């Protein structure tokens, strides 16, 4: 297996960067959009609440693989042509936003309503209160599910191989097809995914401990 690993190393190095780029990029973009969706779900404007609910319903209720295929193969029908990596990144970001919005919404809802009232009594506007008081506390509360979502996204990048993105799973398929050593190759791919996610888990644990100490 070690000989196969050395032989595949140049491809694996590039594939790891693509996997991390897709996963982390989708998490950042999806988190930004997801926060906006969460605020819309809590909005006093009914139309915004309905739009946010519909968005979450559609993207949580349909498979990510279908969404990737729709973007990559379906959009060209309307004249919108995206290459494989942007297509996968867009699909992963839209998909992640639906889940992350619920993580943010639960975090915001868990903050004591008295925090809003206290901020308003001090003359703080909605956005200032949100930025200085509510979101820092909501982020601390939502950190465990946010970390789990990031780990899930890293694994979900494997679906990008269906639109020819050369990430870890695609490299496993290519090397396995050329060497007929599928078992060894996919065991290595699985170990790399596990190692990446263990590093992210340790980082999440560190952040949780740091933020918990800060609010004690």
What is the average per-residue pLDDT within 161-179? 88
CA–chain centroid gap for 151, Å, is 8
What is the model's pLDDT at position 104? Answer: 94
The proportion of the chain whose per-residue pLDDT surpasses 70, expressed as a percent, equals: 97
In CATH, which of 1.10.3720.10, 2.60.40.1180, 3.40.50.970, 1.20.1050.10 is domain 2-214? 1.10.3720.10
What is the model's pLDDT at position 213? Answer: 67
Distance CA 68, CA 167 (A): 15
Residue boundaries of the structural domains of the chain: 2-214
- How far apart are the two ends of the chain, measured CA to CA in Å? 49
Higher pLDDT pick, 38 / 181: 38
User: Tokens at residue 131, please?
Assistant: 């930025």
Tokens 């990559």 sit at which residue? Answer: 72
pLDDT for 74 beyond 80: yes
Do the Cβ atoms of 142 and 103 come closer than 8 Å?
yes
Q: What does the mean pLDDT of the chain come to?
A: 89
Higher pLDDT pick, 87 / 132: 87
Q: pLDDT band at residue 215, thresholds of 50, 70 and 90?
A: low
What is the model's pLDDT at position 193? Answer: 95
User: Tokens at residue 100, please?
Assistant: 């992350």
**pTM reported for the whole predicted model:** 0.91
What is the model's pLDDT at position 209? Answer: 81
What digits encode the pLDDT tens for the residues 84-119?
999 999 999 999 999 999 999 999 888 888 777 777
């Amino acid at each position: 297996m070690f000989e196969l690993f050395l032989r595949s190393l140049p491809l694996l190095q590039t594939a790891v960067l693509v996997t991390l780029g897709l996963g982390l990029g989708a998490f950042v973009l999806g988190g930004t959009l997801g926060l906006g969706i969460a605020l819309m779900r809590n909005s006093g404007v009914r139309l915004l609440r309905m739009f946010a609910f519909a968005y979450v319903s559609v993207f949580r209720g349909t498979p990510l693989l279908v969404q990737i295929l729709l973007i990559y193969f379906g959009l060209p029908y309307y004249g919108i042509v995206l290459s494989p990596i942007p297509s996968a990144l867009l699909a992963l970001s839209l998909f992640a936003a639906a889940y992350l919005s619920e993580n943010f919404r639960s975090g915001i809802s868990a903050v004591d309503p008295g925090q809003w009232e206290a901020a308003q009594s001090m003359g703080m506007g909605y956005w200032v209160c949100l930025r200085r008081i509510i979101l820092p506390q909501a982020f601390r509360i939502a950190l465990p599910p946010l970390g789990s979502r990031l780990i899930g996204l890293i694994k979900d990048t494997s679906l990008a191989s269906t639109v020819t993105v050369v990430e870890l799973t695609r490299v496993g398929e290519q090397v396995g097809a050329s060497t007929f050593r599928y078992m060894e190759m996919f065991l290595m791919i699985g170990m790399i995914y596990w190692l990446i996610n263990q590093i992210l888990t340790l980082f999440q644990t560190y952040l949780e401990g740091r933020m918990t100490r800060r609010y004690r």
